[in-house]
A and B are shown apart, each in its own frame.
Chain A
Amino acid sequence: MKEQDDEEILQLFSKENSREQAFSALVNKYQRRLYWHIRKIVIDHDDTDDVLQNTFIKTWKGLDNFKQESQLFTWLYRIATNEALTFLKQKNKKNTQSINDIEYQLSKSLESDNYFRGDQIELKLQQAILTLPEKQRIVFNLRYYEEMPYEKMSEVLETSVGALKASYHHAAKKVEEYLVSN
């Protein structure tokens, strides 16, 4: 099936009788990209499923008020990122654990995850990424895996290009150090 343009989707969504059709096109177009983005933040598949559902619920509710000041794609990524971070914070509160403990748990859960097919090197790389602070981890994943240009990332994370470049450089340095010493 041919993917619809964002503009076309938004136009369809603005009409009462084609809202569902437009939303369905939006979900089909973006669900995979958003899933992998969230998955790399929360790691577990079931948690990702919850966060992705919340992301689409928020999108459905907010799409009417979407001002088109940014691209639809960056707006969706912003919602997904915020939802994933909120989810981790809530998980953190529920378990009364520190951020470091949560990262340690995520790192441990990778080893027994049925939906992780990486070899030893990839496991080490993921564990190295999990030692980074949450926001730096997002910057690293967006740049390293998704190869997102800094300008787009700047819109998603509302941070300057310079700060993002510096953040990615430090993240890569920390990951490299972890890989060398482990």
Chain B
Amino acid sequence: MNKDNNIEDWKEGQENEFEVPKEYFESLPRKLFSKIELIEELKEFSVLSSIEKKNPFIAPENYFEARDFVKAAIESEKKKEAVIVKFSGFVKRYKLAIAAVFVMTMGTTVLYKMYNKGQIEKVDCSEIACLTKEDITNSKYFDQISIDELETVANGEMLDSMNTQLNNELLNEILSDPETANITDEDLGI
């Protein structure tokens, strides 16, 4: 073997004056695998994978340097404290009026709830990760979705139909098997 090509004799890249970030080499294989996975995922989408991936948005010039989020956060807490002090003074002064308003509000809420029972609020995309039942059952990742999540999208009717289907399949399997086809109810003690 050519000595120049022997990796054991190749001293380049061993100890030198350069540094790499903490745990760089340990995390490199994982990062590479993740990159390959990303490319593989988009392989079947020819248009999407042909687009150069870059952020098309911009922020105003010096936005991050000029914007003081620390000050804003601290001031918001001070404001809140000031509001609490003012509010407690207000409560002390008008406690009877506040109690009356509270009782009226509670009463109105109870009445409102009684008359609006059964109305369901329309929520955008309440199913898991915005997938429809069809998306989930047809998905190649179906077996990786947790049972709890599946339960949230499966209604009673769907579960009953799955159950019946499974029972029928089991029954057909038993009847078609020559070893079990002749078993009578009596044999089973039914």
Which residues of A approach B to under 8 Å, CB–CB? Answer: 20, 23-24, 27, 31-32, 35-36, 39-40, 45, 49, 52-53, 56-57, 59-61, 99, 115-119, 121-123, 125-126, 132-136, 139, 143-145, 147, 149, 157, 159-170, 172-173, 175-176, 179-180
Among B41, B42, B47, find the residue whose CB has the most chain A CB atoms closer than 10 A: B47
B144 lies within 8 A of A167 (CB): no
Closest to A176 in B: B45
Does any Cβ of A come within 8 Å of B96's Cβ?
no
Which residue of B41, B57, B70, B144 contacts A116 across the interface (Cβ within 8 Å)?
Answer: B57
Main DSSP-derived SS at the B contact region: helix
A52 lies within 8 A of B74 (CB): no
B143 lies within 8 A of A162 (CB): yes
A113 to chain B, nearest CB (A): 8
Are A115 and B59 also in contact (CB < 8 A) when A134-B124, A149-B34, A163-B129 are?
yes
B149 lies within 8 A of A160 (CB): yes
Are A60 and B73 also in contact (CB < 8 A) when A116-B57, A162-B144, A162-B145 are?
yes
Are A56 and B128 also in contact (CB < 8 A) when A115-B59, A116-B56 are?
no
Complex Cα spacing A123 to B57, Å: 10
Residues on the B chain within 8 Å of A172, using CB: 41-42, 45, 48
B31 to chain A, nearest CB (A): 9
Q: Which 7 A/B pairs are nearest by Cβ-Cβ distance?
A: A162-B144, A118-B56, A167-B129, A60-B73, A136-B130, A122-B56, A176-B45
Closest to B143 in A: A162
Does any Cβ of A come within 8 Å of B76's Cβ?
yes
B189 to chain A, nearest CB (A): 42
